Amino acid sequence: MQAIYEGKAKRLWTTEDPHTLRMEFKNDATAFNGEKKASFEDKGRLNNAISTLIYQYLEEVGVPTHFVRKIDDTNVEVRKVEILMVEVIVRNVSAGSFSKRTGMPEGKDFSQPIIEFSYKSDELGDPLINDDYIREMGLASVEDMAHLRKSALKVNEILIALFADVGLRLVDFKLEFGRLASDPSKIVLADEISPDGCRLWDLKTGEKMDKDRFRRDLGNVMDAYREVLARLQARISE
């Protein structure tokens, strides 16, 4: 195996199958476009376990993803994709950068989900872009964008219900999509879904159960991740 990519929280390795990769979850944590960094023991295992449960669940309810199987505590096998450079952000509740940009207080439910797009570029700080930007930058076609919107809203509907079942409020989250190397005509959900990329608040207490605990120096970061995993395991294994 050969390492072909290393990001802030994961590494990708080749396998004997040219259409399959090994994705490794790291213990590293970053925030504010990499300005804040730390490492948490067990983070890779927890994110791998949470993302695996969610991707398996999504596959079972008809959402195509790159997930193939879990290999071990920190590694999964995934189908090779060419990642679209458009990151999709789904917002159900005002929070984070949305509140900072608009002045809307955190915690306000939206009448319907808000979809945002950002350009995947660490160098530029993943700036927000719109459909016109995407068209002129040649990042995706009109048909691709319609697919991303439809898929993101479907995933949002599924995850709102799933997290509500375990006492969590899905505030917002980000998604990445990619074209299958084995069939570029097919775009599937890729990367991960974990507390690193979701805002999850306890429905009863409002306690933050996600990476905001790291961003805001709230402490007990991994305890929150463990609690999310335990709740999902209890729900999905029913």
Q: What's the confidence (pLDDT) of residue 159? A: 98
Q: What's the confidence (pLDDT) of residue 80? A: 98
Q: Which CATH architecture has domain 84-220?
A: 2-Layer Sandwich (3.30)
Q: What's the confidence (pLDDT) of residue 236? A: 87
Domain boundaries, the chain: 3-81, 84-220
Report, as ranges of residue numbers, the positions in the chain whose pLDDT lies below 70: 238
Please give the DSSP secondary-structure letter assigned to residue 27.
Answer: S
Q: What's the confidence (pLDDT) of residue 34? A: 80
Both tokens assigned to 97: 């950068």
Q: What's the confidence (pLDDT) of residue 238? A: 46
Q: What's the confidence (pLDDT) of residue 33? A: 81
Q: What's the confidence (pLDDT) of residue 173? A: 98
Predicted confidence (pLDDT) per residue in 186-217, tens digit = 999 999 999 999 999 999 999 999 999 999 99
Scanning the structure block, which residue is given the tokens 């789904």?
A: 90
Q: What's the confidence (pLDDT) of residue 119? A: 98
Beta partners for 200? 170
Distance of alpha carbon 67 from alpha carbon 33, whole angstroms: 26
Q: Does domain 3-81 have CATH number 3.30.420.80?
A: no
How many residues are recorded in the chain?
238
Query: Are the C-beta atoms of 187 and 179 separated by less than 8 Å?
Result: yes
Question: What separation in angstroms does the CA of 13 have from each of 8, 19, 87, 122?
Answer: 15, 12, 22, 21
Residue 175: its H or E element: strand 168-180
Distance of alpha carbon 159 from alpha carbon 169, whole angstroms: 10
